[in-house]
Amino acid sequence: MKYTIPIGPIHPALKEPIMISCTISGEEITDVDVIASQNHRGIEWIGMNRNNPIQTIYVAERICGICNFCHPACLAMAVEEITDMEVPERAQYIRVVQSELERIHSHLLWAGVAAHELGFDSLLHYTWKIREKVMDTLEIVNGNRVTKAIMMYGGVRRDIKDEHVPKIREMIKYYLDLFGEVAKLFLEDKTIKMRTRDIGILTREDAIKLEATGPTVRASGVKKDVRQDTSYYAYPDFDVKAMTPDILTGDVVGDTYDRIVVRLLEVKQSVEIIEQALDEMPSGEIISEEKIPKILATIKKSDGEAIGRHEAPRGEDIHYVKLKSGFDGLYTWKVRAPTYNNILAWMPMLMHHQIADIPIVAASIDPCMSCTNRAVVLDDNERIITAEDLHNLSIEKTKEMMK
Amino acid sequence: MTGEIFFRVVMGTIGIAFFALFLGLSYKGIDRKIAAHMQSRIGPPLRQPFWDVGKLLVKDNVVPENAVSWLFNLAPVVCLASSITLLLYIPIAGYEPLLHGHGDLILILYLLTIPALSMVVGGFASGSPYATVGAQREMVTMISYEFPLAVAIISVAWKMSDAFKGDIFTLSFISSHPIWGNVGLLGVAGLILILLALIIVLPAELSKIPFDVAEAETEIAGGLLVEYSGRNLAMFYLADGVKTFALTSLVVAIFFPYGISQFFGLGSIPSFIIDFLFFLLKIFLVMLFSVTLIRVGVARLRISQVVSTYWVAITLMALLGLVLLMWDSQVLTVRWW
Amino acid sequence: MFPMFGQLIKQLFHKPFTNKFPVKYTPNDVTALMEKVESGEVKINPPVELPESFRGKIVYDKEKCIGCKLCIRVCPAKAIDFKEEEKKIKIYVSRCIFCSQCNDVCPVNCLHMSNEFMLADVDRLSDNLIVE
Amino acid sequence: MNIEEIIDAFEEKGLEVKVQTRMAGVKKKTERKTLWINVGRDRLKEIVEYMVEIADDFPHFSVISPADVGEEVEVNYHLSLGYGSYMGEVPITLKVTIPKKDLWVPTLTDIIPGTAFSEREIIEMMGIDVKGLEDKRHLFLTEDFPDGIYPWRRDETAPKKINKLYEGWKE
């Protein structure tokens, strides 16, 4: 008997505005369809029509709740290429440190969510307990746990002061000592192996054809990593190698288990990169142009187009920016978040699996729908309740409760 | 005469019911508190389950329109009632159970299936695809854990019939003649294996992780109980508490029916209290090792793995225990004390 | 085979990791708790201590402000309004996204970020959430 | 395949290659070169097949980004060759300029299946018809989104009825 199970916009397995509707017969999935049109927020439209470039950095930063350094990083890289803005050396190093800090916190967050999808809540609590260390470091360095607000065209807005360095070093030591234990808890647990080994396999050929990016494609053995392939920021100094599962487990299967392996390896790699960055951090000022109005002016009179590519925690993140002189704001701005390509990889992964595998396979690509959906254009003719009414209703309810 | 028995049974049942509800919920609170501390969290206060039930009773009871409403509302009542009747046959703290008689051990085995069956009926009646999948899974889980459960209990009963004559299939008989006393060294090993099998069967019956595929929260959004709310969900919640208490006391009645009051030689009331507290401690220990520790330490399995674990691994363990028991009495009775 | 059990037993005997801010268990009635806290009966556990570079509620030094409207131009959330008559600005904290871009752009450095983060309120325009 | 071979391979095909360079790195200063190539709409499929041949593994496709420049629409196909080696990747953008009156492009899903989502997006966001794509449903906009309105366009088909949620709240 066939039915369709909607793993939909509101589902405990996938708290993301996307809907996977699987037609199942018995327990086996026979067809997978992805419907992504649940919550498009108009980020590009805002960037092109409403905001000037400085404000667009903060819109880009809020494309994704977790990986919020990668989007402004790409945007700034593209704009700097067009306006040929010089970026001081120290700023390039700070950008590398920030993107690696973000990768650690994003991967550890994902590891906890994956454990929760498997029903292993104590591993979720454990992973998020050790993640607090990187969150405290981020709070000390950036002043805020998640939204860093540190990117500016031509450099960074805040420096890594001398009193921050011992805290970061302490975090590095903490994670290097802990890697063995975390790897043991995740990779040598029999029930996790039973649930993730040979589940959601993405063959190397599918991974390349469907253009998956980031840990999803590296788990299938393809050595694709933007930090290793293209030279941007200070990455040429770090000789970054793409992490594939055979480094730890010796062979490549391309299943959910390998994606856990790749992400844990990347956390270790990021910690080592930060350590090297701190050792070789050049001195000097951190932004090439202090006065913001001058930056706005140079952007306004520049012309041209460029792409910014950066290795976000979930994969390759690319922005295409086109500037036209005299136009206030970005003339054309296209954001492509990493999950955008990885969704296509769901189809071959989920085929002929059981319902129990949907949450963990869907979570294995670390979907971040807020990156992928980006525009809301409200049509107010037949919407009865608007956000305003809902807000007022909630105020009355809170007042009532406070009596 | 019949009036008096009738009066004793009715009042006894009501007493047992409140007693079971109170203890079931407080054990649930202890379980959540210890699980929380194991995960280095503080966890809710011990009286949290009482608040949860109170809150659920206040919430309104929504019946989905494409559900079979009379079955939908009947299922929780049957589940709670059968869990409480289970307790009538189980000796509490070594004292005579309210109803006992010939063969109540087999009756308990069947009474165990009624709560699970009523959840399945409730799942099918609620008409949502998640609940239907959950109900299918609950049936498959029931089939898989019935086999080792039956093997374990029957082998214990068989061992008793080998040593004693008389009405061995009643629980009070088993708990008054502790099984460990009359088995050889091999028998002890067999009994440990059977105890282990029973300990691993418990999480499946109480649908706790790793075998809670029927109510898997992250896969099918709560499975069977997805459409339940308000009073109905409160009844299922209470039934789960009572079942935990009933099953752990069943394991205690079969394997650890010892009392410690005779060591202190006090009067009747204090020794009763000591016995009762020792009984509660035994319940806590069994629950700690069978439910709390397992549900915190492992991930949830897939339905196909649940069946293969029970039919292959746990049944083999129980059968090996039975073989050792048979070997012990037939061939080498090596006295170990 | 099951590495998690060892870790769990170890964690059972360590202090829980959770920070007990504001109180250990959620109270039945929040307003009653607030009164008890004001009257001093109940002591609130301190939150995790904040770094000095923490970006909380904005602080506006009215005298130094010269009304150049640069912060209005740069604020991504349009949270700053200009008062024509007295050439000063009015900041809606409920609208502010705490990016501190206005601090950087201000030529006279009259905007700073404080450490205050408990800004929940019922009315968006209540005086606690408007900085003038 | 280093960058010179790739440029010669394209010049063989009679395509004019524009190279943009950008310095990066501090101690090891290395240049980042991106190739920008104008391709006619009819030669697009042929060039992409050619790229599949010369790629040592398979070309990496990132996204299609359309830009509305007044009378025409520039459709940029962002691809890259040579990933996997240290600093060896060359990002290549094929720019297809099509007039607004006749907005269509051939599909690439038969060569690179990964382009399906990008093509569905340019259909709904820019109104470009992709010939040969079988699944043309809305990707990010809801089903009941009024057709004829294309969010990324700058002409009369751009959305006009915008809910000014972010302005009207101060009263």
Location of structure tokens 């290429």: A81
CATH value at residue A71? 1.10.645.10
Query: Per-residue pLDDT tens for A352-361?
Result: 888 778 888 8
Phi, psi dihedral angles at A89 (to 5 degrees): -65, -45
Closest residue, chain C, to A54 (C-alpha): C74
Indicate yes or no: CB of A185 within 8 angstroms of CB of C7: yes
What's the gap in Å between the CA of B51 and the closest CA on chain C? 10
Could you tell me the residue range of the domain that residue A300 belongs to? Answer: 9-14+16-22+36-372
DSSP state at residue C48: P
DSSP state at residue A17: S
Pairing of strands D90-99, D30-38: parallel
Interface test with A, best of D56, D80, D92, D138 (most A CBs within 10 A): D80
pLDDT beyond 80 at B60: yes
For residues A14 and A9, give the distance between their C-alpha atoms in angstroms, rounded to a whole number.
7
- Residue from A2, A26, A5, A34 nearest A346 by CA: A34
Indicate yes or no: CB of B298 within 8 angstroms of CB of A191: yes
The confidence band for A385, taking pLDDT boundaries of 50, 70 and 90, is: very low
DSSP state at residue C120: -
Task: Give the count of domains, chain D.
Answer: 1
For residues D127 and A344, give the distance between their C-alpha atoms in angstroms, rounded to a whole number.
22
CATH value at residue C74? 3.30.70.3270
Do C99 and C70 belong together in one domain?
yes
Q: Under a CB-based contact definition with an 8 Å cutoff, are residues A208 and D57 in contact?
A: yes
Indicate yes or no: CB of D65 within 8 angstroms of CB of A209: no
- Residue from A193, C9, A13 nearest B297 by CA: C9
Q: Under a CB-based contact definition with an 8 Å cutoff, are residues B315 and B201 in contact?
A: no
Q: Which strand ranges, in their side-by-side order, compose the sheet holding D17-24?
A: D17-24, D30-38, D90-99, D72-81, D60-69
Query: Per-residue pLDDT tens for A139-195?
Result: 999 888 888 888 999 899 888 888 899 999 999 999 999 999 999 999 999 999 988
What are the beta bridge partners of residue C58? C113
pLDDT value of residue B72: 92
Phi, psi dihedral angles at A97 (to 5 degrees): -60, -45
Judge whether A290 lies within some domain.
yes
Of B41, B296, B297, the CB nearest to C16: B41
A195 touches chain B (CB under 8 A): yes
| C:D CB pairs within 8 Å | 7
How far lies D48's CA from each of D34, D45, D60, in Å?
Answer: 17, 5, 11
Mean pLDDT of all residues in D62-68: 89
φ/ψ bin of C69: left (φ > 0), alpha (ψ from -120 to 50), beta (otherwise): left
Mean pLDDT of all residues in A256-269: 93
For residues B270 and A28, give the distance between their C-alpha atoms in angstroms, rounded to a whole number.
60
Peptide bond into C51 cis (omega under 30): no
pLDDT value of residue C32: 84
- Residue from A258, A243, A255, A246 nearest A203 by CA: A255
Mean pLDDT of all residues in B219-238: 87
Do C60 and C116 belong together in one domain?
yes
Closest residue, chain B, to C15 (C-alpha): B40
3-state secondary structure of C83: strand
D115 touches chain A (CB under 8 A): yes
Of D66, D86, D140, the CB nearest to A40: D140
- B214, with CB counted inside 10 A (0-12, 13-18, 19+), is buried
pLDDT beyond 50 at C25: yes
Which of A119-133, B133-147, B160-174, C15-29 has the weakest average pLDDT?
B160-174
The confidence band for A130, taking pLDDT boundaries of 50, 70 and 90, is: very high
DSSP state at residue A315: E
A118 touches chain B (CB under 8 A): yes
Judge whether A392 lies within some domain.
no
Name chain C's partners: 3 or more CB pairs within 8 A. A, B, D
Contacts of B69 (CB under 8 A, 6+ apart): B63
Do C112 and C57 belong together in one domain?
yes
D22 touches chain A (CB under 8 A): yes
3-state secondary structure of A90: helix
For residues A110 and A128, give the distance between their C-alpha atoms in angstroms, rounded to a whole number.
10
Do C30 and C65 belong together in one domain?
no
- When the pLDDT of each residue in chain C is averaged and rounded to a whole number, the result is 87
For residues C78 and A55, give the distance between their C-alpha atoms in angstroms, rounded to a whole number.
10
Residue C92: how many CB atoms within 10 A of its CB?
18
The confidence band for A383, taking pLDDT boundaries of 50, 70 and 90, is: very low
CATH value at residue D37? 3.30.460.80
Q: Where does A337-382 show beta strands of DSSP type E?
A: none
pLDDT value of residue A373: 43
Do C104 and C55 belong together in one domain?
yes
pLDDT beyond 60 at B313: yes
What's the gap in Å between the CA of A67 and the closest CA on chain B? 24
- Residue from A98, A5, A70 nearest A370 by CA: A70
Q: Chain A residues within 8 A (CB-CB) of chain C?
A: 51-52, 54-59, 61-62, 120, 122-123, 126, 129, 132, 136, 139-144, 147, 149, 157-158, 181, 184-185, 188-191, 292-293, 395, 398-399, 402
Q: Long-range contacts made by residues D52-56, C-beta under 8 angstroms, separation at least 24?
A: D52/D111, D52/D112, D54/D1, D54/D6, D54/D9, D54/D81, D55/D1, D55/D81, D55/D82, D56/D1, D56/D82, D56/D84
Task: Give the count of domains, chain A.
Answer: 1
pLDDT beyond 60 at D67: yes
The confidence band for A375, taking pLDDT boundaries of 50, 70 and 90, is: very low
What percentage of chain A has pLDDT greater than the value 90?
Answer: 32
Residues of B in contact with A3 (CB under 8 A): 129, 132
Do C40 and C54 belong together in one domain?
no
pLDDT value of residue B331: 65
Residues of C in contact with A293 (CB under 8 A): 70, 105
pLDDT value of residue C131: 87
Query: Per-residue pLDDT tens for C33-64?
Result: 888 888 888 888 888 888 888 888 999 988 99
Which strand (E) or helix (H) includes residue A304? strand A304-312
Task: Give the count of domains, chain B.
Answer: 1
Query: Per-residue pLDDT tens for B49-58?
Result: 999 999 999 8
State the DSSP string of B135-174. HHHHHHHHHHHHHHHHHHHHHHHHHHHHH--S-TTSHHHH
- pTM attached to this predicted model: 0.90
Query: Per-residue pLDDT tens for B230-263?
Result: 899 999 999 999 999 999 998 988 888 887 777 7
Interface test with B, best of A19, A190, A194, A198 (most B CBs within 10 A): A194
| A:B CB pairs within 8 Å | 84
Judge whether D50 lies within some domain.
yes
Amino acid at site D118: S
Supply B88's token pair.
């009538």
Q: Under a CB-based contact definition with an 8 Å cutoff, are residues B318 and B148 in contact?
A: yes
What percentage of chain B has pLDDT greater than the value 70?
Answer: 97
pLDDT value of residue A379: 42
Could you tell me the residue range of the domain that residue C113 belongs to? Answer: 50-132
Residue B95: how many CB atoms within 10 A of its CB?
14
Mean pLDDT of all residues in A6-19: 69
pLDDT beyond 60 at A372: no
Of C78, C81, C124, the CB nearest to D166: C78
Indicate yes or no: CB of A375 within 8 angstroms of CB of D141: yes
B154-189 as b/e: b if 16+ CB within 10 A: bbbbebbebeeeeebbbbbbbbeeebeeebbebbbb
Of C74, C98, C122, the CB nearest to A55: C74
Residues of D in contact with A93 (CB under 8 A): 26
Of A11, A191, A357, the CB nearest to B299: A191
Q: Under a CB-based contact definition with an 8 Å cutoff, are residues A360 and A114 in contact?
A: yes
Mean pLDDT of all residues in A251-258: 90
Could you tell me the residue range of the domain that residue D30 belongs to? Answer: 3-157
Name chain B's partners: 3 or more CB pairs within 8 A. A, C
φ/ψ bin of C87: left (φ > 0), alpha (ψ from -120 to 50), beta (otherwise): left
DSSP state at residue B205: H
Indicate yes or no: CB of C5 within 8 angstroms of CB of B297: yes
Location of structure tokens 């009286």: B47
φ/ψ bin of D18: left (φ > 0), alpha (ψ from -120 to 50), beta (otherwise): beta
- When the pLDDT of each residue in chain B is averaged and rounded to a whole number, the result is 86
Peptide bond into C22 cis (omega under 30): yes
Supply D22's token pair.
């950008």
Mean pLDDT of all residues in D50-56: 88
pLDDT beyond 90 at D148: no
Supply D97's token pair.
């300029």
For residues A222 and A329, give the distance between their C-alpha atoms in angstroms, rounded to a whole number.
38
What's the gap in Å between the CA of B47 and the closest CA on chain C? 11
Supply B10's token pair.
């009715």
Do C83 and C39 belong together in one domain?
no
Location of structure tokens 């805040």: A158
What is the radius of gyration, based on Cα positions, of chain C? 21
Mean pLDDT of all residues in A285-290: 88
Supply D112's token pair.
């690179």
Residues of D in contact with C81 (CB under 8 A): 170
Residues of D in contact with A378 (CB under 8 A): 162-163, 165
pLDDT beyond 80 at C106: yes
Indicate yes or no: CB of B298 within 8 angstroms of CB of C4: yes
Residues of C in contact with D171 (CB under 8 A): none
How many contiguous H segments (helices) and E segments (strands) does chain D have? Answer: 3, 7
What's the gap in Å between the CA of C47 and the closest CA on chain B? 16
pLDDT beyond 90 at A103: yes
pLDDT value of residue A107: 93
Residues of D in contact with A341 (CB under 8 A): 62, 114, 117
Higher pLDDT among residues A122 and A11, named by residue: A122
Interface pTM (ipTM) of the complex?
0.90
Indicate yes or no: CB of A191 within 8 angstroms of CB of B210: yes
Task: Give the count of domains, chain C.
Answer: 2
Interface test with C, best of D164, D165, D167, D169 (most C CBs within 10 A): D169
Of C2, C16, C25, the CB nearest to B37: C16
Contacts of A136 (CB under 8 A, 6+ apart): A167, A171, C48
For residues D86 and A225, give the distance between their C-alpha atoms in angstroms, rounded to a whole number.
10
